[in-house]
Homo-oligomer: A and B are copies of this chain.
């Protein structure tokens, strides 16, 4: 049994974010698995088979890739951003834990990538410059009540919050509910950064406030960063503003 499975982070989209480690892992694979649009980002190489699948089929995709590796293949499964952040690496581990014993014997590796919140933060300054958290607003696998509890805890303790998966066609109301929840804890002037498709041709970054945000232009390709009381906006004439979170903080925050 010499099969291997590597879970590869592609970063935000453009090849300029693809690490040499990820590029090497992709080049040496015999078979590539992944959500179709992510797989489309990977250069076509002779002798590699490609196995695209639909979104929201993470477990089935992981199982298919593990099965392929267990038959001796050198398999890569691709993930947008970082595979360990709301992406494929956890699904692969879950499949290994619950699947056939042969899957535990496989050589499994994860190759990290630039996750969306780092790319969005870099575009506008340093909004994640101090303690922060990442919350997925998808309630497909956890109850909405738990998401609200986490937003309460994070906002009231002064964390900057990166919101992944803010909305989808099947989850239309979650993001505006999250904004209402955050307004209980944070001042109306709190900076919000909306990063849409960062690292791709249709990239768009918008700065607004908790008071003004409505999320009308938010979709699955959007990552939202909610500031804390230490997050500041620097206006610059003729240049876009910079947003950053101060390194110093007080208990009153």
Contact = CB atoms under 8 A, between A and B. Distances in A.
A131 B133 contact: yes
Nearest to A248: B141
Interface stretch (A27-35, A41-49, A104-112, A172-180): A104-112
Contact of A153 (B111, B135, B145, B156): B156
A112 B112 contact: no
Interface residues of A, number: 82
Contact of A96 (B83, B150, B242): B242
Nearest to A159: B133
B93 A244 contact: yes
Contact of A234 (B97, B109, B132): B97
A11 B19 contact: yes
Nearest to A114: B112
A169 interface: no
Interface string A181-202: 0000000000000000000000
Nearest to A117: B84
Contact of A93 (B118, B126, B157): B126
A129 B97 contact: no
A121 B85 CA distance: 9
A130 interface: yes
Interface string A120-160: 01110111111111111000011101100110111011110
Nearest to A235: B104
A229 to B, nearest CB: 11
A36 interface: no
22 contacts: A16-B20, A17-B112, A82-B118, A84-B122, A84-B129, A89-B126, A89-B129, A90-B129, A90-B244, A90-B246, A93-B125, A93-B129, A93-B244, A94-B246, A97-B232, A112-B122, A131-B136, A142-B248, A145-B251, A146-B249, A149-B157, A150-B157
